[in-house]
Amino acid sequence: MHSQVAYFGAMQDPAVRQRIQTRFTIEELAVAGFNVASSLGSILASQQDFSDIRTIKALLLPILNSDADCSSALAERELWVLNQQRHLILHRRGVIDTRYVDATGDPRTIGTRLGVSPAELEIRLAAMVAAAKSLLAAAGKHAA
């Protein structure tokens, strides 16, 4: 029940309302047995892409009382670039396109495959680990 209270509290934040779907169809409610309290996560996951770092940040920060360390870790450019590259790999089979170059400023040639050096991977993984640690620490403080 605590997660539903946190979600509805987070929905008061304008950044969250802009990114998260808040209307449910009768069909979605019927699949959930008209019990939103026990099915909120499933309903939201069926409507929303939670793989986008901006959506994750918009939803989690209000729930975690805008924890400064967490906010800083989620704002790391390397984490954002990792998310852009993940999108490119999943949706474009790793082929660099104009959207990716425009978004990231990456100087690589459009139409070539994305290559990630060991050094780049290490930097991005470090940013991911730092974000995970900050999220866990903030969640621990929030739960206390």
Q: Tell me what pLDDT residue 5 has.
A: 41
Walk along the chain (144 residues) and give the pLDDT tens digit of each residue.
444 445 445 556 666 666 666 677 788 778 778 777 777 667 766 666 666 777 777 777 777 776 788 888 888 899 889 989 998 999 999 999 999 999 999 999 999 999 999 999 999 999 999 989 988 888 888 666
Residues 44 and 78 in one domain: no
**136 is a domain residue:** yes
DSSP per residue, 62-128: HHTTT-HHHHHHHT-HHHHHHHHHHHHHHHHTTB--HHHHHHH---SPTTSBP---HHHHHHHHHHH
Residues 71 and 127 in one domain: yes
**57 is a domain residue:** no
Residues 74 and 133 in one domain: yes
Residues 37 and 75 in one domain: no
Q: Which domain holds residue 102?
A: 64-144
Residues 143 and 113 in one domain: yes
**120 is a domain residue:** yes
Amino acid at residue number 44: L
What residues have CB less than 8 Å from 27, skipping those under 6 apart?
A: none
What residues have CB less than 8 Å from 99, skipping those under 6 apart?
A: none
Q: Tell me what pLDDT residue 1 has.
A: 40
